[in-house]
Structure 1
Amino acid sequence: MKRFTYLLTFLLLSLIIFSGCMNPENTGLSSDHLNHSPELTVAAAADLKFAFTEIGKLFEKATNSKLIFSFGSTGQLTDQIENGAPFDVIAAANIEYVDRLRSKNMIIDDTQQIYGVGRIGLATLKTNPIEVQTLNDLLKPEIKKIAIANPEHAPYGIAARQALESAGLWEKVKEKLVYGKNISDTLILIETGNADAGIIALSISKNEKINFYLIDDTLHTPIKQAIAVVKGSKQEDLARSFINYVNSKEGRAIMKKYGFILPEEN
């Protein structure tokens, strides 16, 4: 009888210990870890900050995933990918940068898509008494500093320079120019008063602090924006799904809301 009692006690203790080991709190793993949602890292042009943040929330909910955005100038993000940065998706403000990565066999070719065409315009603070509605207004002596994104690596900066050159104004305003690291940084220069006026993307112009006037898009090369899966991504299927979502009915409605021309409208 004693032997049976010892055996029963041993089995009960073993069951308790085993049950404790299966508890996430006793394994060193959190329940969040055990129910870990897949993460997708997206290198995205700065002009996408508002549109992609909104799209991202819907995509996360639909796929039970987590999106990690790194917004910046397309040129710098491309350099990071070329140097091994572990992004899953590149969403560029200019198709030429995605083409560059493709030429180096660094994206999955069949995932490359155009997702929109951007526009640029003139921006000033609403509190600024100086009226700037045309490029020629930048010549006003009261305009001491003009902000544009750095054309060395930012597609919207390239478009701004092209527009100024086409209007015959580049040499005349060159000394007034101050450069943002990307288009979001350019907006900050205007908002903080560190520039009297600037040229920014329509997609980030919905701002109660600023006035915005579109620039004739014939003055610069079309800002065709492309997206693709980075080769080597460990989340290729999810990355493909995100690209498809951006170009879905829901995604395009958001892109259009922020002023992008849709691919079929170009």
Structure 2
Amino acid sequence: MKSISQFFFFAVILIFVTGCTSKDETKDVEIMVSAAASLTDALNNLKNVYEENNENVLVTFNFGSSGKLATQLEQGAPSDLFLSASVKDMDKVTSLGLINEASKVNFTRNALVLITHTDSDLQMTSFEDIDPDNIGHFAVGEPESVPVGRYTKDVFDHLGMWNALKSHMVMGSDVRQVLTHVEMGNADLGVVYSSDAFISDKVKVLAEADPAWHAPIVYPGAVISEAKQPQAAQDFLDFLTSDEGKNVLKEYGFK
């Protein structure tokens, strides 16, 4: 009886291993995409669509702030494609010769919005309405490494409000951390992209920044010069800029 039980046990294991192996073998091309955190939801959707149409390709993501991703690439982190939320960070890796310049393309845009928790009774219709005396914590991106933080600083520098608000600020390591602070009630206000506010049912938008107050929020993408899978990376970037890709981005609040 024991030998029969052992036979069935090993047979099940063999079937399981064989099944896993067969599944992995169908993915003979894997591309690593270093992408801005604000693209998380849209790209996970696009990944599913792309992989359905390209059964031999596996797309994996490394999400983070564009500044930190650029630093990782500079330090030699493996990647095939860089999708940035900032021209400045793309220019940095371009100047270092880390991307294929011929592949570089701006694939979407975004807007900057002021948010609060859905349960908040704060009322304002413009960034100019913020009164430092009436707020506690204010979540923003770290300006040195997070694009949304740089755009936020642009806005408040333009309005002459940065220094007055600075003592209230809680710095986020990427835009999703800023969003989380407001969702969890750890901050009264936050500044995120319109696409981030769009995907959350825990925050509401109070105001949208005038585009003249900050640098254009443009998302450039490019294939890494040392990519292991340059053709597959270019193909995914082409898909991102296709009508189908643009429609998915619009569904997630991108411009």
- The interval holding the TM-score normalised by the smaller chain is 0.7 to 0.9
Q: Quick one: which of 146, 169, 173 aligns to 1:154?
A: 146
Q: Once the 2 structures are TM-superposed, how far is the Cα of residue 140 of structure 1 from its aligned partner?
A: 4.9
Once the two structures are superposed, the pairs formed by residues 112-131 of structure 1 within 5 Å of their partners are: 112-131=104-123
Partner of 2:21: 30
With normalisation by structure 2, the TM-score equals 0.88
Read off the aligned partner of 2:37 and give its amino acid letter: A
Q: Secondary structure at the match of 1:70?
A: strand
- Aligned-residue CA RMSD (Å): 1.9
Partner of 1:105: 97
Q: Deviations over 1:74-98 (max 9, x none)?
A: 0000100111110111000112222
Distance 2:152 2:220 in 1: 19
With normalisation by structure 1, the TM-score equals 0.84
Quick check: 1:50–1:204 contact (8 Å CA) kept in 2? no
Once the two structures are superposed, the pairs formed by residues 1-266 of structure 1 within 5 Å of their partners are: 30-64=21-55, 65-206=57-198, 207-212=200-205, 213-261=207-255
Read off the aligned partner of 2:188 and give its amino acid letter: D
Quick check: 1:124–1:132 contact (8 Å CA) kept in 2? no
Say which one has the larger Rg.
Answer: 1
Distance 1:215 1:103 in 2: 30
Q: Secondary structure at the match of 1:208?
A: coil
Quick check: 1:24–1:31 contact (8 Å CA) kept in 2? no
Q: Secondary structure at the match of 1:141?
A: helix
Distance 1:260 1:25 in 2: 42
Q: Once the 2 structures are TM-superposed, how far is the Cα of residue 256 of structure 1 from its aligned partner?
A: 2.0
Read off the aligned partner of 1:30 and give its amino acid letter: T
In the alignment of these two chains, the number of paired residues is 238
5+ residue gaps, structure 1: 1-22, 262-266
* Cα distance change on mapping 1:136 and 1:26 into 2, 3 Å: closer
Quick check: 2:132–2:165 contact (8 Å CA) kept in 1? no
Q: Secondary structure at the match of 1:148?
A: strand
* Cα distance change on mapping 1:104 and 1:24 into 2, 3 Å: farther
Read off the aligned partner of 1:44 and give its amino acid letter: A
Distance 1:95 1:62 in 2: 30
Quick check: 1:42–1:88 contact (8 Å CA) kept in 2? yes
Structure 1 residue ranges, 4+ long, deviating more than 3 angstroms after superposition = 23-27
Distance 2:96 2:232 in 1: 23
